[in-house]
Structure 1
Amino acid sequence: MRRSFAGLATLLVLAVVAQFFLAASGAFDTAPNEESFQPHRMLGAGILLLTVLVTIVAAIARMPGRLIGLSGLVAGLAVVQFVIAAIAKAFDGTAGELVFGLHALNGLAIMTVASMIVRQAGQLSRPAAPARQAP
């Protein structure tokens, strides 16, 4: 089960990398914003579901409490992404753009915490090395 958790956490990191790619692609697309950022929004919803799944699997796999908490933190940060986007849309002009800048910073926080999870999960999912016996 720990390997499943490590695999899901790795998938999460790959999805976040793809999310950054889709955000950059949408920013430089000539189509209207609603159309150009649609793949970014869709993957964002998928990432939110994946973060909840990662948290549930962490608990089922009886991972250390810190890893379960970090997984829940990523899920919370994913929810904050949608809140930031909604608040930014409520403002016009520069104020909305400044608020929306928090969306990118929060995305970096998601990437950082998800990477920490992958590293720690990888260490925990490896079998322990057998003890060496003295000759």
Structure 2
Amino acid sequence: MRRAFVVVSTITLVVFAVQFVFAAVGAFTEPSSDSAYVLHSLTGMAVIPALVLLTTLFAVLAKAPGKLIGMAILPLGLTLLQALLAALPDAFADETGGSTVVGLIFGGLHAVNGIIAVHVVVGVVRGASRLASSGVQEPASTDASEPAPAGSLGAAEPT
């Protein structure tokens, strides 16, 4: 399970990186329209939440420390905040539909929150990798035919 935790968290990180590409595609598509952001929206509202939940499930199954499990689920909250930050600029548009300073601030915070989410996922990948390489075997993967490590329960202690 620990290896699966590493793999799924790494895939999540790659998808977060691709999400920035999708945002750029939307920003540079001419003529400009909301449909230019369809890949960005779909990935942010469906793919990323599903991957975050899967990553959290694998963290639990890998018996990760509570802090790492908390970090694994945190991007889901940040993704929900992303949706709010994406919607707020329109809510603060002027009467002609033009941008306002407040709306632009929320738009900028959308980008900053995305960067924070990526950093959290990087921390999850690092934590998952450390957990997988810690050398501590998971109870489910312990083979009864292998001798127990010295100093562990079941090992013959020298007298």
In 1, Cα distance between equivalents of 2:134 and 2:106:
45
Equivalent runs, 1:17-28 vs 2, <5 Å: 17-28=17-28
In 2, Cα distance between equivalents of 1:40 and 1:22:
5
> 1:125 is matched with which residue?
132
Equivalent runs, 1:7-86 vs 2, <5 Å: 7-45=7-45, 46-86=47-87
Equivalent runs, 1:86-101 vs 2, <5 Å: 86-92=87-93, 93-94=99-100, 95-101=102-108
Say which of 122, 129, 133 aligns to 1:115. Answer: 122
Cα offset for 1:32? 3.2
Aligned residues: 130
Structure 1 residues without counterparts, runs of 5 or longer = none
In 2, Cα distance between equivalents of 1:120 and 1:127:
10
Deviates more, 1:9-18 or 1:58-67: 58-67
Cα offset for 1:86? 2.0
Give yes or no for the alignment of 1:3 onto 2:3: yes
Deviates more, 1:70-79 or 1:103-112: 70-79
Query: Scaled by the length of structure 2, what TM-score is found?
Result: 0.76
Structure 2 residues without counterparts, runs of 5 or longer = 94-98, 137-148, 150-159
In 2, Cα distance between equivalents of 1:71 and 1:33:
34
Name which structure has the greater RCO, CA cutoff 8 Å, separation 6+: 1
Query: Scaled by the length of structure 1, what TM-score is found?
Result: 0.89
Cα offset for 1:127? 5.7
> 1:102 is matched with which residue?
109
In 2, Cα distance between equivalents of 1:67 and 1:120:
7
Tell which structure's C-alpha radius of gyration is larger.
2
> Kindly, what percent of the aligned residue pairs are identical?
35
- Name the Cα RMSD after superposition: 1.7
Moved over 4 A (4+): none
Cα offset for 1:55? 1.3
Quick check: which one's helix share is greater? 1
